[in-house]
Amino acid sequence: MRTPAWSEDELVLAGALVVRNGWRELRTGDREVHELSELLRSLPIHPAEALSLPGFRSPDSVSRKTTDFATNHPGYSGGRTRCGNPTLQMIDALISREAEMLAAAQAIEDGIGSGQLQLLTPQPDEVDDSGSTAVEGRLLVRRALVRERDPRLRRAKIQQVRRRGGTLMCEVCSFDFTVTYGELGADYIEVHHVTPLHVVGTSKTRLDDLACLCANCHRMCHRSRPGESWRTPDELRAIIRTSAQTGPHAASASVS
């Protein structure tokens, strides 16, 4: 078995360590490096066999990764170490969204320390079709999906919509399951956290923190791409408007 590549969860933790150190690398003997090494080896991501591999997330390997982060920062004036594109993307994310990424790292640390993240079962949508996860990490995506699939939370959100006299439809694209599927689609909708849990914290979810979405829009809110791993319903709605105005269908409509 080869040593597993660094996951997004591990990269955000290592990157956050470098940010807190003023974008300077940390040495093998540093206490923070040893603590991160122990934390990385406890993450429920890689197969158990990885723990027996020589050097797997050892203090030496953690120190080398902090060097990758430090020397590939745009402000670094010396020679750069060679690193993969995921590390470069994480550097960009940490620069452009430092507070959010540090909050994500803290959420992972807190979740592992409390044992909560180890108890979560893998979710089918925590990894997208390309094999990538959100830059915030698979574990936080997993926690969000588990929370969103809580049937009690979904029922409570539907009841809130009904009490307010609203129609149960997607808040982004207005898709109505009942209109399309009849009785089969009655009372069906998916719920989505408008803001990621690592941003709002782990306090009790308020119903107003949730949005009702169709399956397609829900997936698009969670779908990751370089430097971006989630979007709010409002942001997704703006993407749809832009696509309608600039996409191929818009061009063909103007010609006709």
Going by the DSSP 8-state scheme, the letter that residue 248 receives in this structure is H
Q: Which amino acid is at 16?
A: A
Q: How far apart are the first and last CA of the chain?
A: 58
Q: Report the C-alpha gap between 193 and 201 in whole angstroms.
A: 12
Question: How much is the pLDDT for 231?
Answer: 85
Residue 137: partners with Cβ closer than 8 Å, 6 or more residues away: 7, 8, 9, 12, 104, 108
Q: Report the C-alpha gap between 172 and 188 in whole angstroms.
A: 15
Q: Report the C-alpha gap between 148 and 155 in whole angstroms.
A: 11
Nearest residue to 14 via CA among 44, 31, 39:
39
Structure token pair of residue 156: 């409570």
Q: Report the C-alpha gap between 24 and 55 in whole angstroms.
A: 22
Question: How much is the pLDDT for 2?
Answer: 87
Virtual CA dihedral for 201, 205, 207, 211, nearest 10 degrees?
60
Q: Report the C-alpha gap between 223 and 230 in whole angstroms.
A: 6
Secondary structure of residue 212 in the 3-state scheme = strand
Virtual CA dihedral for 213, 165, 194, 237, nearest 10 degrees?
60
Question: Rounded to two decimals, what is the model's pTM?
Answer: 0.80
Question: How much is the pLDDT for 179?
Answer: 96
Strands 210-213 and 190-193: antiparallel
Burial of 51 (0-12, 13-18, 19+ CB in 10 A): exposed
Q: Report the C-alpha gap between 250 and 160 in whole angstroms.
A: 37
pLDDT in tens, the chain (256 residues): 789 999 989 999 999 999 999 999 999 999 999 999 999 999 998 888 999 998 999 999 999 999 999 999 999 999 999 999 989 989 998 999 898 889 889 999 999 999 988 888 888 777 766 666 556 678 888 888 888 888 998 999 999 999 999 899 999 999 999 999 999 999 999 999 888 766 666 556 788 889 999 999 998 988 876 556 678 899 999 999 998 888 665 544 444 4
